[in-house]
Structure 1
């Protein structure tokens, strides 16, 4: 790679990372509406076709921590290139897959690639941009990525009714190649110089096994039965391997995760609030899809159009979070997001007039999007840049794993409620509970923060977040 000026490297890295994250977000949110089309073409049931989503979630959730730490230890440029290449190759494999088995396998490849791209992208920006512009750059990157979130349902619905679901993956191929080339030319390398070029392979195996069995148990519990031998066995394996992983990380000299990270209270608050917001986002999108198509009877493309309003505000939440972050502490921004999201989810259940549904849905999307998007920015403000990939990988693992648990719990709750109650009432009951939980989490964040201020651990809100020499918590 030829030498680049710092300004050119920053611009190139920004474009490469933004395009890569845009592809990942667009791919994930587009495929949800294409499941019926996949089932019909491959001659399988809709529940079987759901494995195209479950396999991706399994792969991406299991490898976030590994991907983030590989980038920190062996170099972020090479790890980013590998991740984009895997994601692009998986996209082509999905587009060409003649049957469900190969499609699911290609989705796993996509998921592993995405799991490397996401945390390493965050750490590339964190280590390349100076303190005064880092939050703005991260916010803008997630703003571009969230455009993919916004367009996902619309693109998925359009392709499902038009040329077919395979074109979702064909769209990813040229965009992935573009991100790959820009990364190759512009992105400089960086790594955690305090860590040896060695990876805790045993720790990697343990954490992947723990997360895989936990996610599998949660994803399939509704089909297997929550008290079935398979579900309980998978949970037991997850608990045992997770416990062994924690024991190993406490004893090994260069751990995959430095457990002291969890002594950083602002990091824990941001991660917790971000996880709750992401759970709410997944549940709200899932229930809104059921409501719009099952209760209102909208077609996939019309339902995707309704999603544009909240999705646009989700896209704007990235830059908005960066702007708020210059005036408010990260924990305060996260609590504000929780308050907006909680009230939005609860208000969504009170809307009876159709034309009010879209703006309330948009308000809800703003809070939820700000919560899970800004958490990736906020964690980078409260940890050392050298371990940015590790911190981002841990955060993303919590986001995805807890999001999967929330979706599985929601599906189980809907299955239990709908025989005795109308579907709309069941959806409203879950949304109300979610709104209360998210709002309560926002209150807890501010109560804990107030206590930390009283103890002198963190600065008060009255001090500007960009004041030199003040820790941004």
Structure 2
């Protein structure tokens, strides 16, 4: 069911969603530079303080699918309000935390709230705006959210060197509260009327266990050792729980995720390209942070300033993707993003002079930002609005989980290579490999699409083509 929305209601919903996404993105990228300060204040090791990041990632990754489907079934407005309220409460808890344990607990609350906010925000916009303006609204909302991405490292580095890491959360709490009040006043309600108000609890339990075990293994594998019993046990639990989830979703009367969603080839291509782009984004940010501080010798705050160049392009990628989407098919936009990102990552590995490094870094940010940002917009173009929350939750789960795996893989590769070569050579090798993978994915995406066009399964790339496609799933796709 899509709510009939006035222009004022749509504007209020857009502002609430944009502010909420902005908070989530700032929080996602700000705390990394504050880990040394947290460890020093609480008298713990940096490895122990790292749990503030691991616990948050764990909670976020486990909440996307459940949060998106909760919105579809019980109402997107209610789920969005709960998500923002949890995020604000967690932010206050983090700011007031007297010790590491309470900080980690508050970060889990924050993560669950963020995991609800992101997929439901996408479906709120999709259902509040008509087809003609939905893409532009989503692109603009992601653009504002990406300003948070741009400011995250700068805010984290600035507070870490200045008044202290707690001010990161004191900044987020009032902005989140404002988003909550606006959402309460303006966000219209909508839900999937074809779905009964019943949640597949067995499917929820299975997917949460699978994602929790996998995320924890990836986050802590480098510290524990990839052949350590704890790491191997968690990976085994993840495989078993994911197998149980697939079995449950195939047989459940009202599944958490309708597996027919993956018969929608444009959805698969968009999800795959978005995932690869986000993996590249995670790796590039990680490698660039090490390069700027370890090789260039910059302080966290100065490194944050250098990050402003690519971050501005990441912020602009949301509106740019929406504009491109009016002239190009979603899969073509994703392939173009991959081409920009891949050449940017490879170019960054060859840039040493500042006059070249900064613009290449910005070019790289444009491609990577367009890839992972536009995947959220494109998802809504290739699935029906009634299933918006479910589809968004699935895409975000792939993006975040595999992004974490790529980050862990990059860290392990650097550890393995640095005894035999200088760190900058290891960083360059990782960027070149990642760029080549993204370029290859772009070529595969377009090759698959071309093959399906030749077989009459998809319309041609020209937006003027009158051919249409019906996805072999409940709630077919549009403009694939």
TM-score, with length taken from structure 2? 0.96
Following TM superposition, by how much is the alpha carbon of 1:278 offset from its aligned partner in structure 2, in angstroms?
A: 0.2
Structure-2 residue corresponding to 1:472? 479
Residue equivalent to 2:24: 24
Between 114-123 and 35-44, report the one with greater CA deviation. Answer: 35-44
Measure, in 2, the Cα distance between the counterparts of 1:346 and 1:353: 15
- 2:458–2:468 Cα contact (<8 Å) kept: no
What is aligned with 1:161? 161
* Residue equivalent to 2:182: 182
Which stretch of structure 1 is more off in the superposition, 301-310 or 216-225? 216-225
1:34 deviates by: 1.1
SS state at 2:52 partner: helix
Equivalent residue for 2:372?
A: 372
Structure-2 separation of matches of 1:232 and 1:153: 33
After TM superposition, give the deviation of residue 468 of structure 1 in Å: 10
Corresponding residue number in structure 2 for 1:420 = 420
Match of 1:127 in 2: 127
Paired residues for 1:327-338 under 5 Å: 327-338=327-338
SS in 1 for 2:147: helix
2:440 maps to 440
Does the residue aligned with 1:307 lie in a helix, a strand or coil? Answer: helix
Q: CA deviation at 1:5?
A: 5.8
Distance 1:22 1:134 in 2: 19
Q: Hey, what does 1:260 align to over in structure 2?
A: 260
CA distance, structure 2, for counterparts of residue 99 and residue 143 of structure 1: 35
Deviates more, 1:224-233 or 1:142-151: 224-233
Unaligned runs of 5+ in 1: none
Contact 1:61 1:397 in 2 (8 A): yes
Give the CA deviation at 1:50: 1.2
Counterpart of 2:63 in structure 1 is: 63
Of stretches 226-235 and 456-465 in structure 1, the one that deviates more from structure 2 is: 456-465
Q: How far does residue 105 in structure 1 lie from its aligned partner after superposition?
A: 0.7
1:40-439 → structure 2 map (5 Å cutoff): 40-439=40-439
Note the C-alpha offset of 1:462: 2.1
**Shift in Å at residue 463 of structure 1?**
3.0
Paired residues of 1:23 and 1:175 also in contact (CA < 8 A): yes
Distance 1:48 1:348 in 2: 32
Instruction: Compute the displacement of 1:225 (Å).
Output: 1.1
User: Within 1, Cα distance between the matches of 2:331 and 2:80?
Assistant: 29
2:475 — aligned with what?
none
CA distance in 2, matches of 1:196, 1:17: 26
Could you say what the CA RMSD is over the residues aligned between the two structures, in angstroms? 1.3
Distance of 2:47 and 2:317 partners within structure 1: 33
Question: Is the CA contact (8 Å cut-off) linking 1:328 and 1:464 kept in structure 2?
Answer: no
**What whole-Å deviation, never above 9, does each CA across 1:386-427 have from its counterpart, x for those lacking one?**
010000000000000000000110111011111111000010
Is the contact made by 1:4 and 1:186 (CA closer than 8 Å) also made in structure 2?
A: no
TM-score, structure 1 normalization: 0.98
Q: Secondary structure at the match of 2:292?
A: helix
Specify whether residues 445 and 369 from structure 1 end up closer, same or farther in structure 2 by C-alpha distance, changes over 3 A only.
Answer: same
Tell me the distance in 1 between the aligned counterparts of 2:4 and 2:454: 47
Q: Does the C-alpha gap of structure 1 residues 46 and 464 become closer, same or farther in structure 2, counting only changes over 3 Å?
A: farther
Query: CA–CA distance in 1 between the matches of 2:440 and 2:244?
Result: 33
Mapped to 2, the partners of 1:64 and 1:426 lie a distance apart of 33
**1:56-84 alpha-carbon deviations (Å, 9 max, x no partner):** 10000011000000000000000000000
Measured after TM superposition, the shift of residue 469 of structure 1 is 6.7
CA–CA distance in structure 1, aligned partners of residues 467 and 327 of structure 2:
13
SS of equivalent to 1:60:
helix
Cα displacement string for residues 174-225 of structure 1 (whole angstroms, at most 9, x for unaligned residues): 0011000001100111100000001011110110000000111111111111
- Provide the secondary structure at the position in 2 that maps to 1:349: helix
Q: Where has structure 1 moved over 6 Å in runs of 4 or more?
A: 467-470
1 CA distance for matches of 2:61 and 2:29? 16
Contact residue 332 and residue 446 of structure 1 kept, 8 A:
yes
Asked whether the equivalents of residues 64 and 393 of structure 1 are also in contact (C-alpha less than 8 Å), the reply is yes
2: CA distance between counterparts of 1:383 and 1:4? 20
| 1:117-169 deviation per Cα after TM superposition (whole angstroms, max 9, x unaligned) | 00000000001100010000000000000000011111111111110000000
Q: Distance in 1 between matches of 2:326 and 2:397?
A: 27
Q: Quick check: 66-75 or 217-226, which moved more?
A: 217-226
The separation in 2 between residues aligned to 1:45 and 1:224, in whole angstroms, is: 15
Paired with 2:206 and 2:244, the residues of 1 have a C-alpha distance of 7
- For structure 2, the 5+ residue unaligned runs are 470-477
